[in-house]
Copies of this chain bind each other. A is one copy, B any other.
């Protein structure tokens, strides 16, 4: 069975950087945004739309009232979200079957549970997450610290809802991961050789 590492992460914790560098160091494939391109091909939905569906909380069934009854019907967004999740699941399983790999986000820890991946959760304190976001923000965008803080919290909330909706488990609950790694006080690239040793 292939060696699989899944990386769940708080927004701004550097989890994506950690995953990418770990894959490089270990000579493993790395999948992150590539999955969105693949989903787009499989579903005929645009990459932008797929990203929107994945990065926002899941759509619920849509209530309509007929007389005194409330019926729950599928909105187009609900139906698309189901197709996207289903395509994502198939693609992630295919990629994991193909070779050793690191997969960031996208409920991969849950989808691949039968392949017994190493499941990482990457986190950091709020100050260092805001600092990290400030450092990588596009110079044309301008965010105040307060706006960034609100954005970080909102993205984490959406990630938690998405994860819970599709897995029935609590996002960030340590029991769902093998190692939780605090990046508050570390320079990620300096830690990679040590971290890689964990999965050799």
Q: Which residues of A contact B (CB under 8 A)?
A: 116, 123, 125, 174-175, 177-182, 184-186, 194-195, 197-200
Chain B residues near A194 (CB-CB < 8 A): 197-200
- Copies of this protein, total: 2
Q: Tell me how far the C-beta of A13 lies from the nearest C-beta in chain B, rounded to whole angstroms.
A: 11
Q: Given A180-B180, A195-B198, A198-B197 in contact, is the A174-B175 Cβ separation under 8 Å?
A: no
Q: Tell me how far the C-beta of A171 lies from the nearest C-beta in chain B, rounded to whole angstroms.
A: 13
Chain A contact surface mostly: mixed
Chain B residues near A177 (CB-CB < 8 A): 180, 182
Chain B residues near A178 (CB-CB < 8 A): 181-182, 185-186
Interchain CA distance A178-B175 in the complex, whole Å:
16
A194 nearest in chain B by CB position: B198
26 residue pairs of the A-B complex, CB under 8 angstroms, read A116-B185, A123-B174, A125-B175, A174-B174, A174-B180, A174-B182, A175-B182, A175-B184, A177-B182, A178-B181, A178-B182, A178-B185, A178-B186, A179-B179, A179-B180, A179-B181, A179-B182, A180-B180, A194-B197, A194-B198, A194-B199, A194-B200, A195-B198, A197-B197, A197-B198, A198-B198
- The list of the 6 closest CB pairs from A to B, nearest first, reads A197-B197, A180-B180, A194-B198, A178-B182, A174-B180, A194-B197
Q: Tell me how far the C-beta of A99 lies from the nearest C-beta in chain B, rounded to whole angstroms.
A: 22
Q: Tell me how far the C-beta of A31 lies from the nearest C-beta in chain B, rounded to whole angstroms.
A: 23
Q: Tell me how far the C-beta of A168 lies from the nearest C-beta in chain B, rounded to whole angstroms.
A: 16
Interchain CA distance A116-B200 in the complex, whole Å:
27
A126 nearest in chain B by CB position: B175
Q: Tell me how far the C-beta of A46 lies from the nearest C-beta in chain B, rounded to whole angstroms.
A: 37
